[in-house]
Structure 1
């Protein structure tokens, strides 16, 4: 706003108030502070005049707020300090215009200086005055948030009780935001206690959102049973987000007994699994080793025409491979192909790992060729798996060939790999053992069990290392 526009809005003020106060209003404006503030105390301004100014409809509320702040920030210029009544009057006026953030900023110093009972008395007296009941309700709801944001949770409860006892309309969104503050602060018990106050009040303030916040807080503390019992206890119908918190907590803690109860409750409430919840369950089942249960969930996803991503199949393939059930892993691979789900590098790694664990290194090497045909990158983990698989199957020459390819691709195997291969070569008095040790030394790797050989092999060339 330009200075001219500001002066225009104050034309009535100029006629009504002394010139010194009119000039002070201009000085306190954000558009004119650069002109400097008065150097001498302003004797014309009194507390009663200030009260009249902040309630004057001819002065816009934002100018009143700016003027009020100016007085608070320059106490040496005035012979008084704004009292509680003036604070409240201005706050209520701002709230009548739905300027909630400005009102909360005005209220923060108030809650520090005055006990809530004094604040409440001052505002409740206004209910029969010029402010409507809905404005008074906005004030008390704002007070809950001011106390909540300041970490003064006992006072927030006091405001809630005051509103309930005086039949002031409580905004359920405000209560949910307060519960979120409690959860973020780790005050789970306070959140649970406040929510139960909401339920006990018999007011229409409990929503699925507030229920979900408390359930989530309890689950974060591992209190899955209490979270489930809370859902069973209240009349508010939970949604999938409410159950997702409990399901996620169950699978992460491998608490499948409680998970079964949660899923039964979910069915009772007629809440169906969504895509994200299926993913959570499949991840949890496969990490624990319940691979068949995960496989059934994937089938259910297909039945419901939900998109099944490649990584979900990879979890199942890795699960079967981990237990040496490589045939099942390949069955899953065939199924995913038939359903049009494209394999990726991790799919092949899972199959390769399963073959190596099952002692089928030859098949794993053929799978490596398939990887190359499909132009997937062979990474360090795959090379290491193949080397260990070949070593375990007694295929030392093949293991050496994989090592050579691995080195050519810029990967240096772990010292343990060299150590195992060197030990195997020593057993058959292979000349390659010495070359292996030389390569290890020149690579800066020192396997512990090969120290006796290192001294005698320092000058051998590594050029004879098999190149595949």
Structure 2
């Protein structure tokens, strides 16, 4: 509000109302909120005058709201309290200006306050008696009522408002219904969410949208009712013409994958194809993760190829998941093949890629190949962690590569890691047979690191 219009409003109020009311208007809407309140009640202001002020077009609505709130917060200064009619009058005024947040704040006392609230039927009666507003403003009022009840956990009252609006042909905003469903989901009221959606569908009103459908599908999936969710998507498409989108399907895909329900997943994917809904990047990631965790590695690999065909960005961790899956089955050749494919398709390996490769090769007894990848890992300046060092040193020892195992242990110590006592003892036992000095040096280093091998005494160490 400009200073000029502010002064004009005050000038109008000063000419129309007693000075005490003009002063109260000025103080109650002070930017600094420093109220110069009189110590005795204001006799100049009564309920009738307040109503006249609140409906006065020459006084800005924000000043009316400030005055109204000031009266509510300072009841001892006034000989009256605003009644329901006054609340509603100001609420309709701000709704006509599309100030929805103000309207909801004004409705809270009469809708949910423990002392001031009125039953919904009483509020309706007052609206009918007093309202001379446009039909669209009346619609805004009841939609605001629904949201006030919903935001404050008065869920049975939401149904009451919905039924009234339906029966009296008051326009129900589909966004209001969707927000209410989200509130129910947030409060873990899954049964109520299903019931309210059924009420929306059965009402015959055009309030069901893909957004409200998606919320309910998510609710059903959270309860494990995947089949019911899929059937609902099909039903809404046929009966209401509401087509599910990728967000709707992702809820079902995620639920199927999490529960390893691949039979239902197949039905969901077929429905997607029927509805011409394409998988997006996130959907592919969820599917690949699910397939690899269950052991359906070939299906996961097929999806990665589809991603490449569709020019979607394939991240290295997706390859890592598939390579790890093949590694669990001992198919190290497939692991190497996928590593080569990564490079040819421009997907950069990361540290985890090398770990999957080395671990798989070690399990297959191909320790030399694993050590070559260790060198590549170092060339690419990836950090080698303790688990990598331990695995490589133990596997080198297991296949008789004592010198290589010793090299790995020495490098491990240089990087600040303490090798396991077992591998050090085994290395020392082997090395003492051919080179006692080198073995004793190894044991000494390990002891200085805080580990005391079991066979320490036989090496002359305390």
TM-score normalized with structure 2 length:
0.91
Q: Which position in structure 2 is the counterpart of 1:465?
A: none
**What is the DSSP-based 3-state SS (H/G/I as helix, E as strand, rest coil) of the residue aligned with 1:98?**
coil
Residue pair 1:107, 1:143 contacting (<8 A) in 2 also: yes
**What is the DSSP-based 3-state SS (H/G/I as helix, E as strand, rest coil) of the residue aligned with 1:43?**
coil
Q: 1:223 to 1:441 in 2, by over 3 A?
A: farther
Residue pair 1:140, 1:163 contacting (<8 A) in 2 also: yes
Residue pair 1:391, 1:421 contacting (<8 A) in 2 also: no
Q: Which position in structure 1 is the counterpart of 2:121?
A: 117
Q: How far does residue 442 in structure 1 lie from its aligned partner after superposition? A: 2.8
Separation of aligned partners in 1, 2:251 and 2:457: 60
Tell me whether 387-396 or 41-50 shows the greater mean CA deviation.
387-396
Residue pair 1:250, 1:259 contacting (<8 A) in 2 also: yes
| Equivalent runs, 1:13-32 vs 2, <5 Å | 13-31=13-31
Q: Which position in structure 1 is the counterpart of 2:385?
A: 379
Tell me whether 314-323 or 54-63 shows the greater mean CA deviation.
314-323
Structure 2, unmatched stretches of 5+, are none
Tell me whether 393-402 or 347-356 shows the greater mean CA deviation.
393-402
Q: How far does residue 7 in structure 1 lie from its aligned partner after superposition? A: 3.8
Residue pair 1:108, 1:146 contacting (<8 A) in 2 also: yes
Q: How far does residue 163 in structure 1 lie from its aligned partner after superposition? A: 0.9
Q: How far does residue 80 in structure 1 lie from its aligned partner after superposition? A: 1.0
Q: Say yes or no: does 1:277 pair with 2:279.
A: no
Q: Say yes or no: does 1:362 pair with 2:368.
A: yes
Residue pair 2:428, 2:443 contacting (<8 A) in 1 also: no
Q: 1:328 to 1:411 in 2, by over 3 A?
A: same
Q: How far does residue 269 in structure 1 lie from its aligned partner after superposition? A: 1.7
Separation of aligned partners in 1, 2:448 and 2:220: 56
Residue pair 2:146, 2:176 contacting (<8 A) in 1 also: yes
Separation of aligned partners in 2, 1:374 and 1:24: 74
**What is the DSSP-based 3-state SS (H/G/I as helix, E as strand, rest coil) of the residue aligned with 2:206?**
coil
Q: Which position in structure 2 is the counterpart of 1:196?
A: 198
Residue pair 2:213, 2:248 contacting (<8 A) in 1 also: yes
Q: 1:255 to 1:21 in 2, by over 3 A?
A: same
The CA deviation string for residues 323-370 of structure 1, in whole angstroms up to 9 with x for no partner, is: 211101111122222223232332222111110010111111122223
**What is the DSSP-based 3-state SS (H/G/I as helix, E as strand, rest coil) of the residue aligned with 2:41?**
coil
Q: 1:152 to 1:458 in 2, by over 3 A?
A: farther
The CA deviation string for residues 79-122 of structure 1, in whole angstroms up to 9 with x for no partner, is: 11110110011011001100111111111111121111111222
TM-score normalized with structure 1 length:
0.90
Q: How far does residue 206 in structure 1 lie from its aligned partner after superposition? A: 0.6
**What is the DSSP-based 3-state SS (H/G/I as helix, E as strand, rest coil) of the residue aligned with 1:10?**
helix
Q: Say yes or no: does 1:11 pair with 2:14.
A: no
Q: Say yes or no: does 1:296 pair with 2:302.
A: yes
Q: 1:340 to 1:39 in 2, by over 3 A?
A: same
Residue pair 1:438, 1:457 contacting (<8 A) in 2 also: no
Q: How far does residue 262 in structure 1 lie from its aligned partner after superposition? A: 1.3
The total of aligned residue pairs comes to 451
**What is the DSSP-based 3-state SS (H/G/I as helix, E as strand, rest coil) of the residue aligned with 1:238?**
coil
Separation of aligned partners in 2, 1:139 and 1:365: 73
Separation of aligned partners in 1, 2:345 and 2:427: 44
- 1:399 corresponds, among 385, 394, 405, to 405
Q: How far does residue 60 in structure 1 lie from its aligned partner after superposition? A: 1.0
Residue pair 2:252, 2:268 contacting (<8 A) in 1 also: yes
Q: Which position in structure 2 is the counterpart of 1:422?
A: 425
Q: How far does residue 388 in structure 1 lie from its aligned partner after superposition? A: 3.1
Q: How far does residue 273 in structure 1 lie from its aligned partner after superposition? A: 0.9
Q: Say yes or no: does 1:268 pair with 2:298.
A: no
Q: Which position in structure 1 is the counterpart of 2:45?
A: 45
Residue pair 2:354, 2:377 contacting (<8 A) in 1 also: yes
- 1:146 corresponds, among 145, 148, 155, to 148
Separation of aligned partners in 1, 2:176 and 2:232: 21
**What is the DSSP-based 3-state SS (H/G/I as helix, E as strand, rest coil) of the residue aligned with 2:34?**
helix
Q: How far does residue 64 in structure 1 lie from its aligned partner after superposition? A: 0.6
Residue pair 1:359, 1:392 contacting (<8 A) in 2 also: no
The CA deviation string for residues 244-278 of structure 1, in whole angstroms up to 9 with x for no partner, is: 11111221222222211211221222211111111
Q: Which position in structure 2 is the counterpart of 1:323?
A: 329
**What is the DSSP-based 3-state SS (H/G/I as helix, E as strand, rest coil) of the residue aligned with 1:404?**
helix
Separation of aligned partners in 1, 2:321 and 2:18: 79
Q: Say yes or no: does 1:78 pair with 2:82.
A: no
Separation of aligned partners in 1, 2:107 and 2:35: 29
Separation of aligned partners in 2, 1:7 and 1:32: 17
Residue pair 1:54, 1:64 contacting (<8 A) in 2 also: yes
Q: How far does residue 429 in structure 1 lie from its aligned partner after superposition? A: 6.3
| Equivalent runs, 1:114-263 vs 2, <5 Å | 114-127=118-131, 129=132, 131-235=133-237, 236-263=242-269
Tell me whether 212-221 or 64-73 shows the greater mean CA deviation.
212-221
